[in-house]
Amino acid sequence: MSAKKFGKDQRLYSSTIVDGVERAPSRSMLRAVGFSDADFKKPQIGIASTWSMVTPCNMHINRLADEAEKGVAVAGGKAVQFNTISISDGISMGTEGMKYSLVSREIIADSIEAVTACEGFDGVVAFGGCDKNMPGCLMALARLNRPSVFVYGGSIKPGSYCGKDIDIVSVFEAVGQHAKGEISSKVLTEIERCAIPGEGSCGGMYTANTMASAIEALGMALPNSSSRVAASKDKREESHAAGRAVMHLVEKNIKPSDILTRTAFLNAITVVMALGGSTNAVLHLLAMARAAKVRLKLADFTAIGKKVPVLADLKPSGKYVMNDLAQIGGVAPLMARLMREGLIDGNCMTVTGKTLKQNLALVKPYPKKQDIIRPMNRPIKKDGHLVILKGNLAPDGAVAKISGKEGLCFEGKAVVFNSEEQALKKILGGSVKAGHVVVIRYEGPQGGPGMREMLSPTSAIMGRGLGKEVALITDGRFSGGSHGFVIGHITPEAYVGGPLALVKNGDVISIDASRRSIEVKLSAAELARRSKAWKPPRPKHKTGVLAKYAKLVGPASEGAVTG
């Protein structure tokens, strides 16, 4: 059987690197890394791997990348693997290290763009595991606009303690239970030891699984990519299929700009709402849309939230994890249901070279005897859980995660902290009481810098049994594992003189999710007086990547992007 021949249309970028007498030095270098004479006539596909031993989310991705390389070869291309970074939110949570988390999204995007553009790859298969990998990869693929497929590393299997499924959030909440005296140090250690059984991303509908589902809905991943378990034969086969799929996209010249349309982004928001996904989806989808040059605003989340119910009973607010959803068919049957209801548009192009409607045509519905995904007439919540709030405390918007279990309204007295560490110490120490609104400020994109996730404080509140009696608001953000009455992404942030900077202990704060409002009960005149007296804090970092990020980053209401 003769080798498949490709023209310059399929080698649009690599031909400039390896064709012609003058490119002999380039070919010489490539021969050293395994290129043969025949390889110089093949499309070159970059395999962007986020493998590392930094975190269980990514510890297996090298094996998946190997499968994608084999898939490219089978389809007649030449794959070149390269790596980019990953950091672990779960490990760094509650420390200064967490400031680098959102920054890593930008580094990942920049590095994939740099390597792909420099080396002249004709297409890309990008792998992500931990939270920021997904949006970072997609931002790069959108900027490059070369035939591309994204592959999610997959979800972890749950741990088990005393016959009960547990995960990383169980450990964070156990810290709060320990502080309250409900569990012993020995029990805490036992939970710690068995919560994470192996490779894969955190198991609930936290940020990694939320973004993987959103990317599948966007059409940039193969069908059911988001719900396959990391340690599975299905995930390995999917990775191989992704290598073949990118070659098909190269042949047909189907690019991210053909897939990442405004309609596709609205589909993604719809799926996130139905799944009860992470607040980080707001931040990341805004950033991804900007990279794709697609108009997307906070108002789009409000409009979709008014008509899309929460159907998935998934952690952190629900009972189940992604592994359970995988057992009944994954995300695809949910998307098929939403399409039948007219809530998503099936005419969008996807990385299969087919439309979303065509991909979903043969998807089987969920089994009748399951309660993970509710029917449309019996939702967990009749409208969306991601609620955009505005008011004198957040003129440019804030993001609330309202599952319905916390209630829709909260009013209480502010207890103000200028850092996450200050707040956590007081929460664990018992200073935060029922009726308080915990205010954590100077943790925004510029002020942090890096917009840390507040999983430690929210988990401590839940662990101390105050989930329904205490609200927490911040210009930082939340882990997908956070639950309770929490509002983040308050914009403008405190560091730039936003109203959050003006709040004092004892001020009454009112939050009303039904009215989509967040207010501090102060007159405009009093806020103006405090604003005049306010002085900006000194920058926390004057050199290095955090200082650079603080200078370049935009507001959370626009995705907190640096370019």
State the pLDDT confidence band at 334, using cuts at 50, 70 and 90: very high
Three-state DSSP string of 403-453: CCCCCCEEEEEEEEECCHHHHHHHHHHCCCCCCEEEEECCCCCCCCCCCCE
Mean of the per-residue pLDDT values for the chain? 96
Cβ atoms within 10 Å of 95's Cβ, excluding its own: 12
Which pLDDT score, from 0 to 100, does residue 303 have? Answer: 98
Q: Is 420 annotated as a binding residue?
A: no
Query: With contact defined as beta carbons under 8 Å apart, do 265 and 218 qualify?
Result: yes
From edge to edge, which strands make up the β-sheet containing 123-128?
78-83, 44-49, 123-128, 148-152
Question: Of 38-52, 122-136, 149-163, 392-406, which gets the smallest average pLDDT?
Answer: 392-406
At residue 117, does pLDDT exceed 60?
A: yes
Kindly tell me if the per-residue pLDDT of 405 is higher than 90: no
Question: For residue 563, what pLDDT is reported?
Answer: 85
**3-class secondary-structure state, position 219:** coil
Q: Of the ranges 114-118, 384-388, 478-482, 518-522, which one carries the lowest mean pLDDT score? A: 478-482
> Percentage of residues in the chain with pLDDT exceeding 70?
100
Q: To 10 degrees, the CA torsion angle through 6, 9, 15, 20?
A: 80
Residue 133 predicted with pLDDT over 70: yes
CA max distance for the chain? 81
Portion of the chain with pLDDT greater than 90, in percent:
91
Omega prior to 316 cis, within 30 of 0: yes
pLDDT-derived band at 483, boundaries 50, 70, 90: confident
Encoded tokens for 155: 């979800």
pTM of the predicted protein model: 0.95
Q: Residue 480: its pLDDT value, please?
A: 76
Q: Flag whether pLDDT at 2 surpasses 70.
A: no
Per the CB < 8 A criterion, the answer to whether 557 and 298 are in contact is: yes
Handedness of CA 165, 168, 169, 175 (dihedral sign): positive
DSSP letters spanning 55-102:
-TTTTTHHHHHHHHHHHHHHTT-EEEEEE-----HHHHTTSGGGGHHH
Once rounded to an integer, what is the mean pLDDT over residues 289-314? 97
Mean pLDDT of 384-390: 96
Compute the average pLDDT of residues 468-489.
Answer: 90
**What's the token pair of residue 357?**
């409607």
What is the predicted pLDDT for the residue at 36? 98
Q: Residue 428 contacts by C-beta under 8 Å, 6 or more apart in sequence?
A: 175, 176, 179, 460, 464
Q: What is the mean pLDDT of residues 213-228?
A: 97
H or E segment at 128?
strand 123-128
- How many angstroms separate the CA atoms of 293 and 150, rounded? 19
**Count of C-beta atoms within a 10 Å radius of residue 161:** 18
CATH 3.40.50.620 fits 15-154+200-360, yes or no: no
pLDDT value of position 443: 98
pLDDT tens track for 531-561: 999 999 999 999 999 999 999 999 999 999 9
Q: Is 479 annotated in the active site?
A: yes
Q: Is 494 strand, coil or helix? A: helix
CB 334 within 8 A of CB 271: yes
- The answer to the question of whether 89 is labelled as a binding residue is yes
Q: Report the residue count for the chain.
A: 563
Read off the pLDDT of residues 431-448 as tens digits, 9 standing for 90 and up.
999 999 999 999 999 999
Give the residues across from 355 on adjacent strands.
Answer: 349
Give the least confident one: 168-182, 286-300, 353-367: 168-182
Q: What does the alpha-carbon distance between residue 64 and residue 74 come to, in Å, rounded to a whole number?
A: 16
The matching CATH number, chosen from 3.50.30.80, 3.40.50.300, 3.40.50.150, 3.30.2350.10, for 386-558 is 3.50.30.80
Torsion (CA) 59, 287, 483, 301 in degrees, nearest 10: -140
Give me the catalytic one of 225, 239, 479, 482: 479
**Is 162 annotated among the ligand-binding residues?**
no
pLDDT at 1: 40
Q: Is the pLDDT of residue 386 over 60?
A: yes
**C-alpha to C-alpha distance for 523 and 268, rounded to whole angstroms:** 39
pLDDT digit string (tens) for 354-367? 999 999 999 999 99
Confidence band, pLDDT 50/70/90 cuts, at residue 479: confident
136: Cβ contacts below 8 Å, ≥ 6 apart: 84, 104, 105, 106, 107, 108, 109, 112, 128
Domain ranges for the chain: 15-154+200-360, 165-199, 386-558
Q: Mean pLDDT, to the nearest integer, of 480-506?
A: 93
SS3 208: helix
Q: Please tell me the distance from the alpha carbon of residue 100 to that of residue 102, in angstroms, as a whole number.
A: 6
Q: Does 117 or 401 have the greater pLDDT score?
A: 117
Task: State the average pLDDT over residues 311-317.
Answer: 93
Averaged pLDDT for residues 3-16: 92
pLDDT mean over 33-37: 97
Q: Is the pLDDT of residue 402 over 90?
A: no
118 is an annotated ligand-binding site residue? no
Peptide bond into 539 cis (omega under 30): no
| pLDDT value for 17 | 98
Residue 382 has pLDDT above 70, yes or no: yes
Answer yes or no: is 37 a known binding residue. no
